[in-house]
């Protein structure tokens, strides 16, 4: 047991971290996931996939926006919403800023290659990598280029933020930490194969926090000091390894061998991390114990689980290429329900107000009851939907592979 001084240190570390980070991070798995406010893939931070509440469907189309009227511009990048602006990138290499209320363009930032990653909006900047390996920082107000960094390999990984640090990875198995202000590379780390996933960011488990706080613990070198709290970034790779890195130093703290490719990002609530893999598996990991707690194996299919899970109310919800959406009990790893679509489900689901918003390549957005998986409402787009939705101000944004962006509002 911890003595009262140790308890005091843990309490102080938790308080300092809450004050110094831009989004709330839940520390206990028993509570429902807390929505974040960071406009990033799956909400940034621990990537829980929770959005602010939106009224129940049915919904109507408020406006539509075409990424490129003259040329087909597919969209696989998820939209994000910040300060009444929608930011979304297309496969023709254009980053769009769209007025949330009207659907009118505010600016366009054009590059020479394609975008597959989701934008991160942070500190009045938009951060995103392209498929030529260039990582871009753009003014969120004007669309003016601020700086770029050449990582020398395609970037499918969406960026996440911790303090003033921006983290992402590339297909060359490199993990990067950049300074948000000027793009200076603070550290690089190497994995074993390409990394598609956005890094999952959260405080290290309490035992690691105490170890880092001991007087004989060496002070970290390199990078930017974030706070007295040790922050961790979790990267899953196609080499089947989950890596936990100290964000301040880039040092690899531990790994968990999954043994099959990890194509998407993980979600973390408390000490419980959940990630989908190849062969139709969903893995639950205790990051404090550094070990796999359970593995759910799809009994009907070994199709890849590319989508990242969303976590709320004790359930991890994930789509798969078996054309289903699955809800897995966070504690036991048992499946609670499954919902069948007519296409692969590569988009990460989003949870809001007890409902799951799950897009599918069958051109439909499905709204499901979180507890039961019952279909509540369905919206049909013109083409396949391969990216997540964004929700803010009682509006929902989604895009399809024809390059059409839809804004839906509850009736």
pLDDT computed for residue 227 by the predictor:
52
Q: Write out the two tokens for 164.
A: 């003033």
198 domain residue, yes or no: yes
pLDDT at 209: 78
Residue 146 counted as domain residue: yes
| Residue 201 near residue 159 (C-beta atoms within 8 A) | no
pTM of the model: 0.88
Q: Give the pLDDT score at 94.
A: 97
CB 237 within 8 A of CB 193: yes
With a cut of 70, which residues of the chain have pLDDT below it? 1-37, 70, 210-228
What is the pLDDT, as a whole number, of residue 41? 97
Q: Which are the contacts of 214, defined by CB distance < 8 A and separation ≥ 6? A: none
Q: How far apart are CA 165 and CA 67, in angstroms?
A: 30
- How confident is the model at residue 210, as a pLDDT? 62
Distance CA(317)–CA(350), nearest Å, equals: 9
Residue 199 placed within a domain: yes
The pLDDT value given to residue 376: 98
Residue 17 has a pLDDT of 37
Task: Please state the domain count of the chain.
Answer: 1
Q: What is the pLDDT of residue 388?
A: 98
CA–CA gap between residue 137 and residue 386 (Å, rounded): 24
**Domain with 269 in it:** 21-214+230-410
Distance between alpha carbon 65 and the CA centroid of its chain, in Å?
24
Q: Is 121 within the bounds of a domain? A: yes
Q: Work out the burial of residue 63: count CB atoms within 10 Å of its CB; fewer than 13 is exposed, 13-18 middle, 19 or more buried.
A: middle
* Cα atoms in the 13 Å half-sphere on the side-chain side of 267: 33
Instruction: Report yes or no on 312 lying in a domain.
Output: yes
- Does residue 12 lie in a domain region? no
Spatial separation of the C-alpha atoms in residues 200 and 47, rounded to whole Å: 6
Q: Is 54 a member of any domain?
A: yes
Residues across the chain: 411
CATH number at residue 249: 2.130.10.10
- Does residue 10 lie in a domain region? no
């Amino acid at each position: 047991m911890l003595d009262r001084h140790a308890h005091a240190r843990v309490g102080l570390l938790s308080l300092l971290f809450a004050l110094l980070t831009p989004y709330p991070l839940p520390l206990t798995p028993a509570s429902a996931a807390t929505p974040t406010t960071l406009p990033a893939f799956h909400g940034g931070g621990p990537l829980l996939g929770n959005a602010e509440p939106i009224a129940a469907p049915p919904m109507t189309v408020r406006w539509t926006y075409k990424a490129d009227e003259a040329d087909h511009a597919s969209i696989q990048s998820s939209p994000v919403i910040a300060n009444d602006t929608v930011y979304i990138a297309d496969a023709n290499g254009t980053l769009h800023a769209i007025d949330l209320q009207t659907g009118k363009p505010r600016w366009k930032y054009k590059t020479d290659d394609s975008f597959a990653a989701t934008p991160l909006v942070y500190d009045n900047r938009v951060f995103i990598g392209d498929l030529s390996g260039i990582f871009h920082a753009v003014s969120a107000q004007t669309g003016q280029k601020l700086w770029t960094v050449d990582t020398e390999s395609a970037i499918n990984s969406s960026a996440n933020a911790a303090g003033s640090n921006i983290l992402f990875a590339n297909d060359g198995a490199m993990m990067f930490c950049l300074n948000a202000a000027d793009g200076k590379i603070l550290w690089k780390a190497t994995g074993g194969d390409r990394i598609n996933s956005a890094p999952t960011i959260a405080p290290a488990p309490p035992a690691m926090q105490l170890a880092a706080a001991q007087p004989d613990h060496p002070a970290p070198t390199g990078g930017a000091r974030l706070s007295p709290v040790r922050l961790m970034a979790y990267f899953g790779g196609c080499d089947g390894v989950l890596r936990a890195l100290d964000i301040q130093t880039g040092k690899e703290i531990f790994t968990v061998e999954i043994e099959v490719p990890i194509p998407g990002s993980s979600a973390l609530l408390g000490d419980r991390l959940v990630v989908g893999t190849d062969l139709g598996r969903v893995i639950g990991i205790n990051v404090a114990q550094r070990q796999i707690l359970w593995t759910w194996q799809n009994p009907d299919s070994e199709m890849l689980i590319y989508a990242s899970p969303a976590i709320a109310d004790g359930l991890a919800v994930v789509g798969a290429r078996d054309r289903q959406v699955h809800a897995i009990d966070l504690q036991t790893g048992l499946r609670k329900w499954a919902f069948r679509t007519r296409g692969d489900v590569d988009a990460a689901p989003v949870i809001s107000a007890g409902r799951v918003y799950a897009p599918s390549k069958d051109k439909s957005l499905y709204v499901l009851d979180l507890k039961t998986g019952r279909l509540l409402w369905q919206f049909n787009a013109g083409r396949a939907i391969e990216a997540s939705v964004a929700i803010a101000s009682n509006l929902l944004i989604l895009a399809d592979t024809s390059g059409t962006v839809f804004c839906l509002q509850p009736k």
